[in-house]
Structure 1
């Protein structure tokens, strides 16, 4: 039965097993010794949260190049985004409609402005902590996108005037971070129903 690993990637860890040239960030081999695992959808070293790994090539492909869902869109990736400033209705609407970036217009996104109490999980202290400006408030957004442009979420929020302070991936292709602690992981065995949801018969 195919399986995958859900990992709560800490800040400062790369989505690769080998060290980078300047050793600035820790590799995944700090946490995993199974050399058959491959990353299904990268996450920047300066981003946190859900990283999926699997040794099954078909599962990896289904997550990184998912079939279109019933409504004609790909399965989404949802992020918790701490931004500088308080979002206006106009800024949120821009994100929902898609914004024009250097590499093209993004697909429409789903976005909600949440209080910290409304986030789907308790937050952990980031190391290092985010920069804070006493005279500038910050806010949380829950943002779901349906594509994977480079550093897309950060560029989208910056484009509408809401610089990203912290980025946590909450879900990918229906798999959620849940209550995994920082640096923790869990192995999930995929039954026939879950495989069908991924487009694998």
Structure 2
């Protein structure tokens, strides 16, 4: 137990699981994971049902504000498999900023970001839809400092490529690593704040 009494976890959220413990719909929930989370645990940020990868859970209600509403934006990195072959020109569009449609139907020009074509990562966990990898596709690594709704999916669609797989691999220095889908790792409080590059102080705990 940390001095503050709070606990901190990362999970590898599997495909087709929502990032919450309660839902009126018949969906797979975080509570279905084989782990006894303490009362008050909640997700920080979200990954949609079809996205995979790093998800933070904690009992500390102030982390969301510190991580996503602070003055300094925090980097989030994703591996993205898209349909078809991405050209250098299309990649440049992702890097320099591309127009997507956000809530309310408004056009939004994305902030310049890191984007690169990469090889399929070694040791990547397979999914039932793995047959798609037999068709022409491209793996991308994209790092954002902003998080509009479905932003990565909208960005690759804007350059003409449908997102077929989306995996969040890190938030700042907090990395998914080799954590298997559905598995949980607890992190000490000081390491949690250090790796997320959030100022650690006893005053921030609830």
TM-score band w.r.t. shorter chain: 0.7 to 0.9
What's the counterpart of residue 132 of structure 1? 132
Aligned to 1:89: 88
Per the TM alignment, residue 44 of structure 1 is displaced from its structure 2 partner at its CA by 0.3
Q: 2: CA distance between counterparts of 1:133 and 1:52?
A: 29
**RMSD in angstroms over aligned alpha carbons?**
2.1
As a proportion of its length, which structure holds more helix? Answer: 2
Partner in structure 2 of residue 199 of structure 1: 199
TM-score when scaled to structure 1?
Answer: 0.85
Query: What do residues 2-28 of structure 1 show as CA deviations (whole Å, max 9, x unaligned)?
Result: 54101000001001101343x1x2011
Distance in structure 2 (CA, Å) of the matches to 1:81 and 1:112? 10
Cα deviation for residue 50 of structure 1 reads 0.5
One of 10, 13, 16 as aligned partner of 1:12: 16
- Displacement, 1:130? 4.7
Deviations 1:34-92 (A, max 9, x none): 33111111000110010100111233322232441xxxxx1111000001112111111
Q: Alignment partner of 1:90: what SS?
A: helix
Pair 17,138 (structure 1): closer, same or farther in 2 beyond 3 Å: same
Contact 2:173–2:195 under 8 Å retained in 1: no
| 1:48 maps onto 2:47 in alignment | no
Structure 2 counterparts to residues 1-201 of structure 1, below 5 A: 1=2, 2-21=6-25, 23=26, 25-31=27-33, 32=35, 33-68=37-72, 74-103=73-102, 104-116=108-120, 119=121, 122-126=123-127, 128-130=128-130, 132=132, 136-191=135-190, 194=194, 197-201=197-201
| Structure 2 residues not aligned, in runs of 5+ | 103-107, 202-206
Separation of aligned partners in 2, 1:196 and 1:168: 18
Q: Which residue of 2 aligns with 1:71?
A: none
Measured in 2, the distance between the counterparts of 1:34 and 1:190 equals: 15
Displacement, 1:179?
Answer: 0.6
Equivalenced residues, count: 189
CA distance in 2, matches of 1:8, 1:171: 11
Please say if residues 44 and 56 of structure 2, whose CA atoms lie closer than 8 Å, have aligned partners that are also in contact. yes
| TM-score computed with the length of structure 2 as normaliser | 0.84
Secondary structure of the residue aligned to 1:78 is strand
